[in-house]
Amino acid sequence: MNINDTIQETYVALSANKVRSSLTILGIVIGISSVIALVSIGQGATKSIQTSIQSIGSNLLVITPGAQRSPGGFGVSSGRGNAKTLTADDATAIASVANVSAVASEVAGRYQVTAQGTNTNTTVTGVSENYPAVRNVQIADGRFVNDSDSNSLTKVAVLGPTTVSDLIPDGTEPVGQTVRINGIQFKIVGVTVAKGGSGFTNADDAIYIPLKAAQRFLSGNNYVTTIDVQAASADATTQVLNDATQLLLDRHHITDPTAADFSILNQADILASASTITTTLTYLLGAIAGISLLVGGIGIMNMMLTTVTERTREIGLRKAIGARRSDISRQFLIEAIALTVIGGIIGIALGGAISLGVNATGLLTTSISLSSIAMAFGVSAGIGIVFGWYPARRAASMNPIEALRYE
Amino acid sequence: MIEVKNITKTYGAGDTAFQALKGISFDIQDGEFVAIMGPSGSGKSTLMHILGCLDTPTSGTYKLDNKDVSKMDDEELADIRKDKIGFVFQAFNLLPRTTVLRNVMLPLIYAGVDADEREARAEKSLLAAGMTEAHFAHKSNELSGGQIQRVAIARALVNDPSLILADEPTGNLDTKTGEIVLGTFQKLNEEHGRTIILITHEPDVAEHAQRIIHIRDGEILSDKKHPQRKARHHAQ
Ligand SMILES: Nc1ncnc2c1ncn2[C@@H]1O[C@H](COP(=O)(O)OP(=O)(O)OP(=O)(O)O)[C@@H](O)[C@H]1O
Ligand SMILES: [Mg+2]
């Protein structure tokens, strides 16, 4: 029997019981589409977490004051970030460690900010000139604050795009206007490029002012809340981390490393553990969807076994007029494969639509890879073969006389 | 062309074993029209299954066109059926939901005959079996009982078999329709020289044959020529 005839036979057989065929196909559609949709959502989540971690800079080490987190628990690390142990001089010293390409200091705090008739509560960060380079911040309009602003205690500010729309909702040019931070007037000199709101903190809802202005007018002391260190390369981060730790221990006269009054976070470590978590989650989602695919496959087998029983006399007749075992088993196997492949194609389309729908909500940027489509297609054909094989074999091995006698 | 020697068939084994055929021997020549008669349970269908290569005898030999088919395996038997034998059953002859034409083409599809040729051959044998072109595109469930049997005869003819076997082909039909179907067999035998073996337990039906073999309890009771066969029904 050639391909054309086989397709025709399959069409006749499957369309004979349209409701049953459609329900069986639906099982596969649900299985395949949930695999495609969930995996693409999982991969989208992985990607968005990775980009939001990467958007804070590259090859970055973040030094914060306060005790090293002990494995014992979170309680002992209270005061981390608020402790006053790091200074701008520490930052200057770290700049001379080998393989450090840039160092930036920050003094951050949340303050009430007002403009003409509007107000908001946002993070105000006093930063040094290197900050945009180290933390991957770009200027959309105007300029960034620099060290000469800092040294002369000039009251200038750079706003994130979210803060701009909160404070100046009428859309007029923000550069040149003034805002009041904690009651003190600052002149806007620039606006940063939007980074996107995803991630743990919203980098677009922020105000940057010169470091020394922040220390003098807002925090009222000479400490810094964060030192950002950028290593020259990804390979150098471990060495920079070790050297910077030793340098700060020496400067703070601490001999026991576990008693350090600061902690250093390595961005690469955060990225790696986040990736592990999201990859595991993606596998988990895929596995749950895989279970529904398996159930769909069992549906195929169930339907094919019913069909074989119902068509026993037909099988007997076909054998009597010269069909070989292979003709019969091929016919039923192809019916099963046709069901799963049709289900697979619809499932891929539906899964893609769900994934695009999630994309359209703006929560996640999902992506469907060609490989996952190819895999879904292969899996659905495979399910047809695996679950169609037994019914097909049962049909092929029927004795023609007994099959013809079957009532 | 058929040589049957001492064929037996035993169903089951041990205590429940039942010998349905107890040593049957006969020869059938090319172009003969033979009726096999006997009461219910006498082993007619069992014999036909063996003659039709649907089953193999427990002992004895069966030669079809000088080829011993009694020891062949499933796949070889399928090929013999495809090439040499056409069947007409009492019931369930046609695939449901399938057109008349495609039902008749089915043996050719399995034999791998290409599309143009098989359509031409199917049409030819449908016409030979007394069907009209108006019915070719009908689904098999849109036909009368007599039409179904004639389509089945057309299918049995289409692969140009050495032997046409019919197991109670008129069992489900009224007398008049049955006569038309039997007339079709008779015409194929008289005008086209087909070898036909017809199984029946109705003496009326056997009247159409040239030779009648009576069997009872798995044994041949009589094997007689039948010179005054019944006149063919020309109602078609
Ligand atoms: N598969 C089987 N297993 C056991 N016994 C069988 C089997 N097939 C047939 N028989 C027995 O063999 C005997 C002959 O059966 P067969 O079907 O050949 O009779 P038949 O002459 O065709 O009868 P009928 O006119 O009723 O069709 C019967 O007694 C039947 O019970
Ligand atoms: Mg019978």
Candidates A133, A82, A83, A91; CA nearest to A109 is A82
pLDDT score, position A179: 93
Using CA atoms, how far residue A216 sits from A87, A104, A260, B101, B216, in Å, is: 14, 18, 27, 98, 122
Using CA atoms, how far residue A144 sits from A92, A129, A163, in Å, is: 20, 8, 16
Q: Alpha-carbon torsion A256, A262, A267, A271, what sign? A: positive
DSSP at B99: B
pLDDT score, position A211: 93
| Rg of chain A on CA atoms, in Å | 33
pLDDT score, position A289: 86
pLDDT by residue, tens only, chain A of 407 residues:
778 888 888 998 899 889 999 999 999 999 999 989 988 888 888 888 888 787 777 889 999 898 655 444 344 444 444 568 899 899 999 999 999 999 999 999 999 999 988 989 999 999 999 899 888 888 998 999 998 999 999 999 999 998 999 999 888 899 999 999 999 999 999 999 987 654 446 778 899 999 999 999 998 888 999 999 999 988 888 899 999 999 999 999 988 888 888 888 888 888 888 888 888 988 898 888 889 888 999 999 999 999 999 999 999 999 999 899 999 999 999 999 999 999 999 999 999 999 999 988 877 888 887 888 888 888 888 999 999 999 999 999 998 888 888 87
Find the B46 Cα to ligand 2 centroid distance in Å.
Answer: 7
Using CA atoms, how far residue B67 sits from A392, B26, B29, B31, B57, in Å, is: 32, 16, 15, 18, 15
**Residue B48 clears pLDDT 90, i.e. is over it:** yes
Contact B92 A318 (CB under 8 A): no
Assigned domain for B235 exists: no
Write out residues with Cβ below 6 Å of ligand 1.
Answer: B 11-12, 18, 20, 38, 40-46, 201
CA distance A308 to A12: 15
CA distance B70 to A127: 99
pLDDT digits (tens, 9 = 90+) for B208-235: 899 999 999 999 999 988 777 776 665 4
- Read off the amino acid at residue A268: A
**For the stretch A279-310, what's the b/e string if a residue is b when 16 or more beta carbons lie within 10 angstroms of its beta carbon?**
eeebeebbeebbebbeebbebbbebbbebbee
Using CA atoms, how far residue A281 sits from A241, A271, A294, in Å, is: 30, 15, 20
Using CA atoms, how far residue B100 sits from A134, A311, A388, B155, in Å, is: 81, 19, 29, 9
CA distance B130 to A53: 82
CA distance B95 to A37: 42
CA distance A367 to B125: 60
Pocket test for ligand 1, best of B7, B8, B15, B18 (most atoms within 8 A of CB): B18
Which residue minimizes the CA distance to atom 25 of ligand 1? B40
CA distance A394 to A328: 10
The DSSP bridge pattern shows strands A119-127 and A206-210 to be: parallel
Torsion angle, CA of A75/A77/A82/A84, rounded to 10 degrees?
140
Q: First-to-last CA distance in chain A?
A: 28
Contact B222, B228 (CB under 8 A): no
Order the strands of the B67-68 sheet from edge to edge: B18-28, B2-11, B59-64, B67-68
pLDDT score, position A309: 92
The tally of domains found in chain B comes to: 1
Tell me how crowded residue A233 is: count the other CB atoms within 10 A of its CB.
12
Contact B110, B82 (CB under 8 A): yes
CA distance A152 to A198: 36
CA angle at B41 for the pair B38 and B46, rounded to the nearest 5°: 90
A313 Cβ under 8 Å from any chain B Cβ: yes
Contact B209, B31 (CB under 8 A): no
A3 Cβ under 8 Å from any chain B Cβ: no
A134 torsion bin: left (phi>0), alpha (psi -120 to 50), beta (else): alpha
Tell me which H or E stretch contains B62: strand B59-64
pLDDT score, position A369: 79
Domain ranges, ordered by start, for chain A: 3-52+273-405, 96-233
Q: Which residues hold their Cβ within 5 A of ligand 2, which is an ion?
A: B 45
pLDDT score, position B234: 53
DSSP at A257: G
Greatest CA separation found in chain A? 104
Find the A104 Cα to ligand 2 centroid distance in Å.
Answer: 99
Give residue B91's domain range: 2-225
Q: Which two tokens stand for residue A122?
A: 């946002």
DSSP at A215: I
Q: Alpha-carbon torsion A51, A55, A58, A60, what sign? A: negative
Contact B154, B167 (CB under 8 A): no
pLDDT score, position A230: 92
Among all chains, which residue has been given the structure tokens 């205590």? B15
Q: How far is A325 from chain B (nearest CA, A)?
A: 7
pLDDT digits (tens, 9 = 90+) for B74-126: 889 999 999 999 999 888 889 988 999 999 999 999 988 988 899 999 999 99
Contact A322 B55 (CB under 8 A): no
Q: Which two tokens stand for residue B41?
A: 């349970």
ipTM of the complex: 0.90
CA distance A12 to B102: 12
Using DSSP's 3-state secondary structure scheme, residue B57 falls into coil
Torsion angle, CA of B63/B69/B70/B75, rounded to 10 degrees?
-170
Contact B75 A319 (CB under 8 A): no
Contact B92 A401 (CB under 8 A): no
A317 Cβ under 8 Å from any chain B Cβ: yes
- Whether this prediction's pTM lies above 0.80 is answered by no
Candidates B180, B144, B176, B196; CA nearest to B30 is B196
Q: Which two tokens stand for residue A310?
A: 């119902």
Assigned domain for B203 exists: yes
CA distance A90 to A88: 5
Among all chains, which residue has been given the structure tokens 């649900």? A30
Contact A325 B55 (CB under 8 A): no
Which atom belonging to ligand 1 lies closest to the Cα atom of B9? 12
pLDDT score, position A194: 86
Among all chains, which residue has been given the structure tokens 């039902």? B103
pLDDT score, position B181: 86
DSSP at B16: G
Q: Exposed, middle or buried by CB within 10 Å (0-12, 13-18, 19+), for B46?
A: buried
pLDDT score, position A82: 58
Q: Which two tokens stand for residue B12?
A: 């089951």
Chain A environment of B79 (Cβ under 8 Å): 322, 324
> What is the average pLDDT score of chain B?
89
What does the DSSP assignment read for A68-128? PPPTT-SGGGTTTTTS---BHHHHHHHTTSTTEEEEEEEEEEEEEEE-SS-EEEEEEEEE-
Find residue A193's DSSP bridge partners.
none
Helix pair B100-111, B115-128: axis angle to 10 deg: 130
Contact B152, B88 (CB under 8 A): yes
CATH number of the structural domain spanning residue B38: 3.40.50.300
Q: Which two tokens stand for residue A245?
A: 């730790």
